[in-house]
Structure 1
Amino acid sequence: MSCTAILVGDGPTRTVKSEEVSGYRGPGFIWTHIECESEQELGAMIGDDIPEVAASAMTATETRPRCDRMDDGALVNLRGPAAEELATSDRLVSIRLWVRQGKVTSVTRRPLAATALVVAQMKAGTILDPGDLVAAYARAISKQLDPQVADLGDRLDDCESDLQPRHVYRLRREIAEIRSEAISFRRFVAPDRDALETLALLDFSWLAEEDRLHIREAADRFARMAEELESVRERSALLHEQLTDMRGEQMETRALLISIVAFIFLPLTFVTGLLGMNVHGIPYADSPWAFWGVVGFCMMIALLITGYFMRVHWLRR
């Protein structure tokens, strides 16, 4: 659990104490960032100057990307890559921001990878108001997520180029994994786009036109990623069908081969069984050429049956 308050615009960027946050009125702005998994502790840490609806949304266990205007502030929820590998099914971590003139409060239950980049920009002096902060988060999340989405497409390209019967079982596992990851990403990428597009249309004094341009740029990147994820999902389904057909053809070919071999040996088994009976009267039983004669007769039957199968194209793959 951690709570960090950073003051910008009132001299050099610096970390301030919690008691300074509630009473600060300018000329800069304060960003309070909270990382905590406990809902009760979150409720106590976010402060009393946040509307009840916004506070409830920021402490909720499950969230999805959204952007809602509330009086002179905006509640912005986004999802981005985690700073460390997650054991949960959700691939992306949520960040909830309550933004108003002079103050920004952000909450994450697990560390977000983009936060370190935003803090570095704050210390470098490139973020001067709440609009810059939200735009920086939007850009950082989209830039970090873009290579991961592109990697899914590259992995699927490798599966397509390696589409061969002997790799059916391995490719089915890989394609199923890629499709699952694409669905998991798309669950939040498309709402991220919608939330940023909504934010760019809101009329706030703390949201400059340059900030809107950066937010629209991030929204466009999210839109492209959503299209790429949809393409990956559809291509994965198509490849899975091709692999299923390929596996079915393999099974049919093997079953046909087994049936042909069994059909060839069926009359041969009958001949050998008939001549192998331990009874008197077997023709040519005492002849020295009888064994080789039976062998030749069996080979002739096998060749005739094989020739017939080749003529009707049963042996052609």
Structure 2
Amino acid sequence: MNQQQPLPTEHGLVWAMILDRKGGGSRIGWDGLASWRPEQGLLWAHFDISEPAPEHWLEEKSGLELPIAAALVAEDTRPRSAPSRNGLLVILRGVNLNPGAEPDDMVSVRVWLERDRIFTARRRQLRISGEIKAAIESGEGPASPGEFLCVLVEGLVDRIGESVDELDEHIDALEEAAGEHNIMEVRSQLADMRRQTAHLRRFLAPQRDALDRLVRQPDAVLSDADNLAIREQADRVQRFIEDLDLIRERGMVSQEEFVSRLAFQQNQRILVLSVLSAVFLPLTFLTGLMGMNVGGIPGAETTLGFIGASALLVALGALIAVYFRRRKWF
């Protein structure tokens, strides 16, 4: 799968392209970005805002309103959309597919759309951006800002769906493994899964609201076809939220079942110990009596005394065991 290849980090410009509005485009650098004119084509600039250069350019040279520029470079963000008179601000979250990262550690992507310009910004790599770039380079990319947003949203939602499916398969496996493996190990994995579910859901609900707001508020950047496509993705996000709620409920039920199973096992062990104690208590009492160092102990003077005492204890123990068995105490 194609991965984005960022420019040296001191540049802060991951890439910039001029799209021909037919699916293709060509790369430009900082100089081309500064000299771009609308008649050249649709501009797409993708920034790494962990570097200082993009923040300065967006605030000082891009022509954006300061609140828009500040939103694109903000340290912490939540999914939202905000139409304005000049364009459309969209902030979304995607699954973190970077090596060694947890999928529930979601990556933020900030998007500003105008009729002739697209600005996207991120702090960590997001695979869908590289896939859009590769599609443009092969002549199969988006032809308009609205289509660009639709492709971006669909890619983000697809990967969220894959993560939700993995969680669903994981809880199925945990439920099946509960009777075959150590319950404590399964409970630990279940707790991790519930944590991932909570983190995913934390951003999916506002992401659904952001997409809903896009289609509810008319905007000059998005066409009717774009709105229809985004509405479909909003419905998918809603289904994923419902799936996560179901996974969370299944996790809670499974955890309660594991707790009950552990309690049952502990009670069974305690019952066995109690039965053994009840069986041996009278036997221990009798052996204590017969072991006292006083005269008059029955059988002390006969050679069959030990055998008789042992037989008596065995018989008494058997009677006690039979009594407990009939009472269904074990």
Is TM-score (shorter-chain normalized) higher than 0.5?
A: yes
- Give CA-to-partner distance per residue, 1:140-194, whole Å, 9 cap, x none: 1111221111110111112222332863212211211111111111111222222
**2:193 corresponding residue in structure 1:** 178
**CA shift in 2, pair 1:108/1:244, >3 Å:** same
- CA offsets per residue over residues 99-128 of structure 1, 9 Å max, x none? 111001111000012111111222223311
Compute the RMSD of aligned alpha carbons: 2.1
| Paired position in structure 2 for 1:64 | 78
Aligned residue number for residue 158 of structure 2: 143
Alpha carbons 1:6, 1:16 under 8 Å: kept:
yes
On the 8 A contact 2:92/2:109 being kept in 1, the answer is: yes
Cα-to-partner distance string for 1:84-110 (whole Å, 9 max, x where unaligned): 146589611000011111001111000
Question: Structure 2: how far apart are the matches of 1:166 and 1:260?
Answer: 28
* The one of 53, 68, 83 aligned to 1:54: 68
1:305 alignment counterpart? 320
Which of 178-187 and 189-198 deviates more? 189-198
**Aligned-partner Cα distance in 1 for 2:191–2:103:** 15
Measure, in 1, the Cα distance between the counterparts of 2:302 and 2:93.
90
1:98-109 alignment runs, 5 A limit: 98-109=112-123
Number of positions where the alignment pairs a residue of Structure 1 with one of Structure 2: 314
The residue number in structure 1 matching 2:29 is 17
Q: Deviation per CA, 1:186-226, whole angstroms, max 9, x where unpaired?
A: 11122222211211233233312222222122222211111
Q: Which amino acid aligns with 2:224?
A: E
Change (3 A) 1:10 1:139: closer
SS where residue 117 of structure 1 aligns?
Answer: helix
Q: Flag structure 1 segments of 5+ consecutive residues without an equivalent.
A: none
Q: CA deviation at 1:131?
A: 0.7
Query: 1:274 pairs with 284, 289, 293, which one?
Result: 289
Q: Could you state the TM-score of these two structures normalised by the residue count of structure 1? A: 0.92
Distance in 2 of aligned mates of 1:79 and 1:200: 18
1:74 to 80, 88, 99: 88
Consecutive aligned runs of 4 or more in structure 1 exceeding 6 Å deviation: none
5 Å-filtered alignment, 1:94-243, equals 94-123=108-137, 124-164=139-179, 167-243=182-258
State which of 45, 54, 60 in structure 2 corresponds to 1:32.
45
Q: Confirm or deny: 8 A CA contact 1:28 1:129 kept in the other structure.
A: no
Alpha-carbon distance between aligned partners in 1 of 2:134 and 2:267, rounded to the nearest angstrom? 61
Report the Cα distance in structure 2 between the residues aligned to 1:140 and 1:166, rounded to whole angstroms.
37
3-state SS in 2 of match to 1:54: helix
- Conservation of the 8 A alpha-carbon contact between 1:81 and 1:113: no
Alignment deviations for residues 213-252 of structure 1 (CA, whole Å, 9 cap, x no partner) = 2212222221111111111111101111111111111111
| Of 146-155 and 44-53, the range deviating more from structure 2 | 44-53
| Shift, 1:41, TM fit | 4.0
Equivalent-residue separation in structure 2 for 1:165 and 1:126 (angstroms)? 50
Question: Could you say if the C-alpha distance between residues 166 and 28 of structure 1 is closer, same or farther in structure 2, counting changes exceeding 3 Å?
Answer: closer
Contact 1:118 1:140 in 2 (8 A): no
Whole-angstrom distance in 2 between the partners of 1:248 and 1:211: 55
Partner residue of 1:44?
A: 56
Moved more, 105-114 or 214-223: 214-223
* Residues in 1 aligned to 2:304 and 2:57: alpha-carbon distance in whole angstroms: 103
TM-score (norm 2): 0.88
Q: Distance in 1 between matches of 2:258 and 2:237?
A: 31
Please say if residues 18 and 41 of structure 2, whose CA atoms lie closer than 8 Å, have aligned partners that are also in contact: yes
SS at structure 1 position matched to 2:46 = strand
Q: Distance in 2 between matches of 1:36 and 1:300?
A: 85
Aligned position for 2:303 = 288
- Pairwise CA distance, 1:83: 4.0
- Contact 1:165/1:246, CA 8 A, preserved across alignment: no
Q: Counterparts of 1:88-99 in structure 2 under 5 Å? A: 91-99=105-113
What is the rounded CA distance, in whole Å, between the counterparts of 1:121 and 1:139 in structure 2?
Answer: 14
